[in-house]
Structures are given as C-alpha cells and as structure tokens.
C-alpha cells in the first residue's frame, strides 16, 4: 500500500483504517451492519415475496427453501418482512440520531463557548431530559402526540440532543482555552469563525463515536416502541411489531418470533461492535488495557 504513489488516501486516513482493520470484531460488526443497511435501501426489491402478500393457504409454515424463515399467521413470508423491516429501523434511528447530532453540536458549541445564563439554562434543561429513562419519555411523548413517523424521529432526536450537547460542551470548554484558539481570538477572528473553523473540527471525532453508540441504542428504542404497538403502524413491517403480533403462536410457530428477534439481536450486536471499533479507531487511548 505504502509503495503505491497514486494512493489518494492521506496518511492519517491510512492509520485510522489500519487501526480499524486490526480489530476483527469491528470488521464482523461492520459487515452485518452494512448488510442490513443495504437491505434498508433496496429491501423491497431484494425481498423474495411482497412483504404484505397474504397467502392464507400457506399460513404458519415452518422454514424451508421456499420460505427461508417460514410464514406467519396470515401466510406472509417472514424473511421478506424482516428484510423490508430494516428500513424503518434505519430510517427512524438514523435520521433521529443525525438530527440529534446536528442540534446537539450547535447547542453544545454555543453553550460551551458563550457560557453564562444561556449555558446554565440549556444544561439544566438537558439534565431534566436526561434524568428520565428514555423509553419512558418516549412512551409518554408518543402517547400524547400519536405514533406518526415524524413524531418517532422527533422523540429519538429529543432524547439524544442533551447527550450530544453534553459531549460537545465539555470539549468546547477545554478547547476554547487552547493556545491556537487564543491566537485566533487575538488576530481578531469573529466568534462564528472561531466556533466553526477552530473549535468544531476537533469536537467531531467524539461526536461520531457518540453517534454510533446512540444509533445502536436507538435500535433498542425503536424496536421496543414497535413491540409495544407504538412504533411504525401497519401495514409497514416492523421487527418489534412482528414479534408482538406473533406472541400467540410461540408454541406452534416459534420461527415467526425468533427470526425477527435474531435480526434485532444481530443488528444490535454488530452495531455495538462497530461503534466500539470506531471508538478505538478515533480515540485509541480510551479503549486500551
């Protein structure tokens, strides 16, 4: 690699990539993560059957080559529903996490840089949100506002903004007293320039680490809401909902439950392995020992 002069990768990227690749668990995690991500993108084309097609004659069939994960109580292909169901997990968790990262970054930068009353109020508000179990807050919010897609994305974002803001604020407090920021201030740069050009780039690695962790928790949250009947509404397939609906058939058709449960388990585990890998890659000193 290093002998290749046309390689466009900067040395830093190469170091990061090497560090990531030296962690076999992270690679396994990345593999499954991108498999499900691909399914979220092209799932409805890749699925062997339409996810909502009911064939009553074929109901509750055990797994076979025609139906890899069997069929459910309406004769729908469980495998196809899992593949298409990846979409809602990635959409809800992903866009919620990205929104949270954006607003958390802005709030954290402003709070850390300006300090004062704004900082105090913002951090106390974050304390209140963070002082409750996230699933409980989500339940109350959804019960009040209804389980629409927009509301689900919003609740994921609201739950994670305080955590992101805390991380960024802590970094900003540390960075704003650094000599290079001081230098920028002395040469007369404006506050937005200092915040976005001098400080923000250095807060990004922890934000990425936090995002990957938040995304894996958001799968937990979205799937749990789906299980409780407060997530994505039918007919859209959703893993949590699939498990909830199939509970009555556990003894005679366990595959209807166990296949989506396995999908959640594999995605969650691979996402946390991946996020662990990202953390070790970006902040190697923290994962050592």
Partner 1 sequence: MLKYLARRLGFVLITLLVSSMIIFFSTQVLPGDVAQMILGRFARPEAVEALRVKLGLNEPIYVQYLTWLKNFVQGDWGLSLSTNNYPVAPMVWERLKNSFILAMAAFVIYVPGGILLGLWAALRRNKAADHIISVSSLSLIGLPEFVTGVILIAIFSLKLGWLPPSSSISPTATLPEILPKLVLPAITAALVSLAYITRMTRASTVEALYSDYVRTAYLKGLSPRQVLFRHVLRNALMPTVTVAAISIGWLMGGLVVTEALFSYPGLGRLLLFAIQRRDLPLIQATTLLMAAIFCLSNMLADIIYAWLNPKIRFQ
- Catalog residues that contact partner 1 under the rule CB under 8 A: 25, 127-128, 131-136, 139-140, 142-144, 216-217, 219-220, 223-224, 227-230, 240, 243-244, 247, 250-251, 254, 257-258, 261, 264-265, 268-269, 271-273, 276, 289
H or E element, residue 205:
helix 200-227
Nearer to partner 1, 24 or 48 (CB): 24
Give the Cα separation of 142 and 104 in Å (integer).
22
Give the Cα separation of 183 and 54 in Å (integer).
68
Give the Cα separation of 246 and 241 in Å (integer).
9
Nearer to partner 1, 97 or 271 (CB): 271
Nearer to partner 1, 54 or 244 (CB): 244
Tell me the closest approach of the beta carbon of residue 183 to partner 1, in angstroms. 34
Tell me the closest approach of the beta carbon of residue 269 to partner 1, in angstroms. 4
User: 3-state class of 226 per DSSP?
Assistant: helix
Left if phi > 0, otherwise alpha if psi is -120 to 50, otherwise beta: which for 215?
A: alpha
Tell me the closest approach of the beta carbon of residue 117 to partner 1, in angstroms. 17
Tell me the closest approach of the beta carbon of residue 14 to partner 1, in angstroms. 26
Nearer to partner 1, 2 or 131 (CB): 131
Count of other CB atoms within 10 angstroms of residue 200: 19
Nearer to partner 1, 80 or 216 (CB): 216
Tell me the closest approach of the beta carbon of residue 57 to partner 1, in angstroms. 26
CA dihedral of 35, 221, 157, 29, whole degrees rounded to 10: -30
């Amino acid at each position: 690699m290093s002998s290749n002069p046309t390689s466009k990768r900067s040395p830093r990227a190469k170091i990061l990539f090497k560090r990531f690749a030296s962690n076999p668990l992270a690679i396994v995690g990345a593999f499954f993560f991108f498999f499900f991500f691909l399914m979220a993108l092209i799932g409805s084309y890749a699925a062997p059957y339409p996810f909502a097609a009911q064939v009553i004659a074929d109901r509750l069939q055990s797994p076979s080559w025609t139906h890899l994960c069997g069929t459910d109580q309406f004769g729908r292909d469980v495998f196809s529903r899992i593949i298409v169901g990846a979409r809602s997990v990635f959409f809800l968790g992903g866009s919620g996490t990205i929104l949270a990262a954006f607003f958390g970054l802005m709030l954290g930068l402003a709070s850390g840089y300006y300090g004062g009353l704004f900082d105090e109020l913002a951090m106390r508000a974050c304390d209140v949100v963070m002082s409750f179990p996230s699933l409980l807050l989500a339940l109350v919010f959804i019960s009040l506002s209804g389980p629409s897609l927009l509301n689900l994305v919003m609740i994921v974002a609201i739950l994670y903004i305080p955590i992101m803001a805390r991380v960024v604020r802590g970094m900003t407090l540390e960075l704003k007293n650094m000599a290079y920021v001081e230098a920028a201030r002395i040469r007369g740069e404006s506050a937005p320039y200092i915040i976005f050009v001098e400080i923000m780039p250095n807060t990004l690695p922890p934000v990425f680490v936090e995002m990957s962790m938040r995304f894996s928790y958001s799968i937990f949250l979205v799937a749990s809401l789906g299980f409780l009947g407060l997530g994505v509404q039918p007919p859209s397939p959703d893993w949590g909902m699939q498990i909830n609906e199939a509970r009555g058939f556990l003894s005679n058709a366990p595959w209807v439950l166990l296949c989506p449960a396995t999908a959640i388990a594999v995605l969650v585990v691979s996402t946390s392995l991946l996020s662990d890998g990202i953390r070790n890659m970006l902040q190697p000193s923290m994962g050592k020992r």
